[in-house]
A = this chain, B = another copy of it.
């Protein structure tokens, strides 16, 4: 249940609890959540606290409140994008292709006294002995959060699968800036571009389900990728 003496605020505990239940499917899409009055009794806390938790869930888009009716699960899905959370590897595998990575940089760097694993990888797929490179990405991951992560070899291994399986820390949120850039010589070479072309770059942070930052990324996409954005309000 909720722990009133935890250093984590009650509204935050409740928010996480409800979110877990929704994501686990205990409350399904369209379901009615317990009313605020019921939650008061269930957890022995006041409505103000409950409403603070609800407010966050509404902002996350997990839940919808309707005046006079109640609070409903509303698992609205945004985006069928290039960005997916199983990571690049499974995206490629889904298409029955073989993912390939070339690691250009793999080192431990320091920033503000913190150690990070810095990766620079060219990523693509192999088909009929043809290799198509699709993205160039830079990642930084805090080693304090992922001790020993720098010992893995990411030529063969999926970064996100490692985070999920070996660290129980699956990526859950992103916060990205989408920026148009011009291809430089390096990129033209990698992506096989005949001339300077405008490309898309995504830059930002990746978070786990508790909202803690687990990665900063910067990805340049080859033109073979279509960037789709579907969104519902």
Query: How far is B174's CA from A204's CA once the two chains are assembled, in angstroms?
Result: 23
Residue of B nearest to A79 (CB): B231
Cβ contacts A74-97/B at 8 Å (1 or 0 each): 000011010101000000000000
Q: Residues of B contacting A127 with CB < 8 Å?
A: none
**A230 interface contact, C-beta 8 A:** yes
Judging by beta carbons under 8 Å apart, are B198 and A180 in contact? yes
**A179 interface contact, C-beta 8 A:** yes
**A105 interface contact, C-beta 8 A:** no
Give the number of copies in the complex: 2
Judging by beta carbons under 8 Å apart, are B229 and A172 in contact? no
Cβ contacts A187-201/B at 8 Å (1 or 0 each): 000000000011110
Residue of B nearest to A19 (CB): B232
Identify 24 residue pairs between A and B in the complex whose beta-carbon atoms are under 8 Å apart, listed by A's number.
A48-B48, A61-B232, A78-B232, A81-B229, A81-B231, A172-B232, A172-B233, A174-B230, A175-B228, A175-B229, A175-B230, A176-B228, A176-B230, A177-B226, A177-B227, A178-B178, A178-B229, A180-B180, A180-B197, A181-B198, A182-B198, A198-B198, A200-B200, A202-B229
